Amino acid sequence: MTRFMDKTFWGLTIGLVVILVANFLLEDWLRFIGLQSMARGAVALGLLILWRAGLVSFGHALFFGWGAYAVALSQKIGITDALLGIIIGTIASGLLAFALGFLLRRYRAIFFALLNLAFSMILYGVLAKLEVLGSTDGIGVKQPSYFGITPEGANAHITLFCFTAIIVYIVALAVHRYLSSTLGAMTIAVRENEIRLEYLGYSAEKAIHVKYVFSGLLAGFGGAVMALAVGHVDPDSMVYWPNSGDFVFITILSGTGNVAATFIGALAFELIRTFAFDYAPQIWQLLMGGTLLVIVMFLPNGLWSLTEHLGKRRKSAPSPAE
Amino acid sequence: MTFGIKRSGALFAAAALLAGTGLAQAQDKVKMAVPTFLTGAGAPAFGIPAKKGSELIVRGINEGTLPAPYNTPGFAGRMVDAIIYDEAGGGTKQVTELRNKVQKEKVDLVVGYISSGTCSAVTNVAEELKILTIETVCGTPRVFEELDKNPKYVFRTMNHATGNNVSAAHYIAKTRKGQVKGFVGLNQNYAWGQDSWRDFELAMRHLAPEAKPSSKQQFPKIFAGQYGAEISALLRGKEKLVHSSFWGGDLEALIGQGSARGLFHKKDFVLTVGETVAYRLGKKFPQGLMIGARGPYGMYAVDDPNPLNQWFQKEYRKAYGEPPAQPAYQYAQGILAAKYAYDTAAKKAGKFPTTDQVIEALEGATFPTFVGEVKMALSKGHQAVTDDLWGVTVWDEKRGETVLKDVIVFPASCIMPPEGVASIPWLEGGMKGAKC
């Protein structure tokens, strides 16, 4: 139990309390950005798991979009409950990741990255052709109900925010636990020396498969939350390849030091994008690219490494999750 | 972790501070957000002319130099502060941006949107945010027929896309009676292309039943850029008439590659939004094509003597050194609708109107525009109808511009479904109630 209640546990718990309180004080637009950060942060968390195993996916918009469409379609058959919708979106993506994992676990490096991209673009192509699913115009998602109650107006997002924050908290803790378990520790072993891992009696392919399913579940969860927050799903802003790029961007921005990093990175990403959009409407992409360049050059381990720099300066204990 | 929290706390504080300063400026001005494509594929053909048209009309409104009845300065006397921003990035991004503009920058209204995908995504959010939103260009009829059946805050100030394809079929039926045996489509494989083809094919079924659609419809990928195979297939096919809803770079590519192979001499083309690139291509734009502008805009407005139209033509050419194409007109028309609604509501209220009063003034209104008038006739007074025009391109050596000949005007009552009837059932049922 003492191992369970480490720094990350306390950090996440304090973080949860802070954002739950902040939820009621925040301006509406900031709350929405917070919601999106949690959704994108969850996907980046999935990428973090793969990243630690030395794998980068350029196609996780596949699972993000799959989860989002699963929520939209489940509403069509009458499922309006938020929790049920999110579970459906998450599981649907997990199953897809499980199926694709049999093929993808055999590939590494650029082949892994691009095969993911290929699968995501297949889904994009199919969705763009399917007129019954609204083609590129997408389909609308209604405000969900929470155990039979449907909040109206601003309350809808306050509720969804609380709801998402609590699930994200549980998910982040679970991933943190997983990463510090034997199975999770294999992540680094896969990256460092696969052959040695195999000699230890573990299957590298199976370890990767498990990680891939986890990352799929997390991306599906992110997509489901995004669908409910935005109220609309469409292939261009959910499945198209730049979305996969956004997730990789967030992962680089955050660094892989800690599960909390991805959510902070996602928030920073959303805020940078929002202000870049406001102050440079014609060259906002340039500012985003510039930010990435600065991070890669000066903070190669992401924003999280700032905490480690500061930690070292104060001669405190080594970084939490490593 | 604690540092992480502090960091994000600082970010929140910084953001809130910026939001605060934004609020302080918004006193006796009307803040109007204008989304349009400033980057990406939609920018050159649609977004940039739309931006220019908006800037010009806002300047005219603020200076009070527009001809009557728009000759008073501002919206109900208040200066208009137009915040033009990028529509790129897809539906999710645009929902975020709409929230930012409304909740952070406290805009009073939104006028814009080009892509049907964006309109599909933002319409219900605009209703939820209770923000007056005038959609200017996006074409999908689903906005009010499916997504937002009881609109209050959202309006659209031009015909939806169905009208344009129906009038195209009317034009073919009128000018090529009995000559068209078959027709084929070349449309991009996404919502706009699919919808355009469906509407055109359904309308042709009733207006020119002797013409049969080819079994080999072409749906190349959007932004493909290379149409060699498609052009070969069209040239081999026996159908003379080709329907295409191509736009922007794709249309320019098709025209470049098709012209080189004589495609436009051998086939009879109907380009539903061809007007958007005709000025840009100048003399390279083929002659003898049927091109559409979704209403009396751009090339179809160029010679109309209405003083408002003449002002727009003259000032636009003076400011930007090029003639205004349809998106410039369509955005300016949306902004005129807002001016009309604010002014009318202010007259009635005797003071600066509330948003509800502005909405009341715009609902079901008929207001004068550059050419003729706009009637907010459909979807409970939130969907506009206008006349639509079709003609054939010809190069005018003296002006150095493409102009149109054999123009036929189709009244709104002929090409748009009546109130309360959705487009597809109306087309499938043989366009009952159309008054041509």
Q: Check residue A295 and give its pLDDT.
A: 84
Question: Does residue B34 sit in the same domain as residue B145?
Answer: yes
pLDDT digits (tens, 9 = 90+) for B141-158: 888 988 888 999 999 999
Task: Decide which of B271 and A185 is more confident.
Answer: B271
Q: How far is A90 from chain B (nearest CA, A)?
A: 19
Q: Which of B99, B105, B188, B195 is the best residue to mutate to test the A interface, defined by the most A CB atoms within 10 Å of its own CB?
A: B99
A15 contacts B85? CB cut-off 8 A:
no
pLDDT at B410 over 60: yes
Mean pLDDT of B286-299: 93
Find residues 95-154 of chain A whose CB sits inside 8 Å of chain B.
125, 128-129, 131, 134-138, 140, 153
Share of chain B above pLDDT 90, in %: 72
Helix (H, G, I), strand (E, B) or coil at B28: coil
Q: How far is B175 from chain A (nearest CA, A)?
A: 32
Is residue B133 a contact partner of residue B126, using CB atoms and an 8 Å limit?
yes
Question: Does residue B180 sit in the same domain as residue B284?
Answer: yes
User: Does B405 reside within a domain?
Assistant: yes
Q: Residue-wise over B162-176: b if at least 16 C-beta within 10 A, else e?
A: bbbbbbbbbbbbeee
Domain that holds residue B262: 162-293+387-428
Q: Is B90 on the interface with A (CB under 8 A)?
A: yes
Q: Check residue A314 and give its pLDDT.
A: 60
User: Exposure of A172 by Cβ count < 10 A (0-12 exposed, 13-18 middle, 19+ buried)?
Assistant: buried
Residues of B with CB below 8 A from A231's CB? 95, 121, 124-125, 128
Mean pLDDT of B212-229: 88
Q: Check residue B132 and give its pLDDT.
A: 96
pLDDT at B339 over 80: yes
Question: Does residue B179 sit in the same domain as residue B206?
Answer: yes
How far CA A222 is from CA of A45, A46, A303, B114, in Å, comes to 10, 10, 21, 28
Q: Residue-wise over B184-210: b if at least 16 C-beta within 10 A, else e?
A: bbbbbbbbbbbbbbbbbbbbbbbbbee
**Integer Cα distance of B382 and B369 in angstroms:** 17
Query: Can you state the angle between helices B228-236 and B248-260, rounded to 10 degrees?
Result: 60
Query: Can you state the angle between helices B326-349 and B48-63, rounded to 10 degrees?
Result: 30
Helix (H, G, I), strand (E, B) or coil at B186: strand
What's the mean per-residue pLDDT of chain B? 89
Count of domains observed in chain B: 2
User: Does B434 reside within a domain?
Assistant: no
Q: Check residue B131 and give its pLDDT.
A: 95
State the DSSP code for B244.
E
User: Does B6 reside within a domain?
Assistant: no
Share of chain B above pLDDT 70, in %: 94
pLDDT at B318 over 90: yes
Q: Is A236 on the interface with B (CB under 8 A)?
A: yes
Question: Does residue B247 sit in the same domain as residue B119?
Answer: no
B120 contacts A232? CB cut-off 8 A:
yes
Mean pLDDT of B57-67: 94
User: Does B435 reside within a domain?
Assistant: no
Rounded to 5 degrees, φ, ψ at A114 are -80, -30
CA angle B325, B83, B315 (to 5 degrees): 35
A14, A27, A311 member nearest B5 (Cβ):
A14
A30 contacts B96? CB cut-off 8 A:
no
* A vs B: CB pairs below 8 A: 158
Mean pLDDT of B300-304: 92
Residue whose pair of structure tokens reads 């009552």 in the numeric block: B413
Question: Does residue B170 sit in the same domain as residue B122?
Answer: no
Mean pLDDT of B261-280: 92
Find residues 276-315 of chain A whose CB sits inside 8 Å of chain B.
277-278, 281-282, 284-285, 303-304, 306-307, 310-311
User: Does B213 reside within a domain?
Assistant: yes
Q: Check residue A301 and give its pLDDT.
A: 81
Task: Decide which of A273 and B426 is more confident.
Answer: B426
pLDDT in tens, chain A (322 residues): 456 678 888 888 888 888 888 888 888 888 888 888 999 999 999 998 888 888 889 999 999 999 999 999 998 888 888 888 999 999 999 999 999 989 888 888 889 889 998 999 998 888 888 878 878 888 888 888 888 788 877 788 888 888 899 999 999 988 888 888 877 777 777 777 778 878 877 787 888 898 899 999 999 999 999 999 888 888 888 888 888 888 998 998 888 778 888 898 999 898 888 888 878 777 888 888 888 888 888 888 888 888 777 766 665 444 444 4
Six-digit token string for B61: 């409104």
Work out the end-to-end distance of chain B between its first and last CA atoms, rounded to an integer number of angstroms: 70
Q: Check residue B321 and give its pLDDT.
A: 93
B1 contacts A8? CB cut-off 8 A:
yes
Q: Which residues pair with B84 in a beta bridge?
A: B34
Question: Does residue B52 sit in the same domain as residue B174?
Answer: no
pLDDT digits (tens, 9 = 90+) for B378-404: 999 999 999 999 999 999 999 999 999
Question: Does residue B166 sit in the same domain as residue B289?
Answer: yes
This model of the complex carries an ipTM of 0.77
Q: Do strands B373-378 and B366-368 pair parallel, antiparallel, or not at all (unpaired)?
A: antiparallel
How far CA B189 is from CA of A124, A227, A254, B63, B225, in Å, comes to 12, 24, 37, 44, 13
pLDDT at B13 over 90: no
Q: Check residue A313 and give its pLDDT.
A: 65
Mean pLDDT of B45-52: 93
Q: Check residue A234 and give its pLDDT.
A: 87
Q: Is A238 on the interface with B (CB under 8 A)?
A: yes
Q: Is B152 on the interface with A (CB under 8 A)?
A: no
Question: Does residue B142 sit in the same domain as residue B246?
Answer: no
Task: Decide which of A305 and B335 is more confident.
Answer: B335
Looking from the CA of B13 toward its CB, the CA atoms found within 13 Å total 6
Question: Does residue B130 sit in the same domain as residue B36?
Answer: yes
Q: Is B11 on the interface with A (CB under 8 A)?
A: yes
Question: Does residue B222 sit in the same domain as residue B259?
Answer: yes
Q: Is B287 on the interface with A (CB under 8 A)?
A: no
Q: Is B41 on the interface with A (CB under 8 A)?
A: no
Q: Is A258 on the interface with B (CB under 8 A)?
A: yes
Q: How far is B90 from chain A (nearest CA, A)?
A: 5
Helix (H, G, I), strand (E, B) or coil at B132: strand
Question: Does residue B189 sit in the same domain as residue B235?
Answer: yes
Last residue in a domain, options B352, B368, B385: B385
User: Does B1 reside within a domain?
Assistant: no
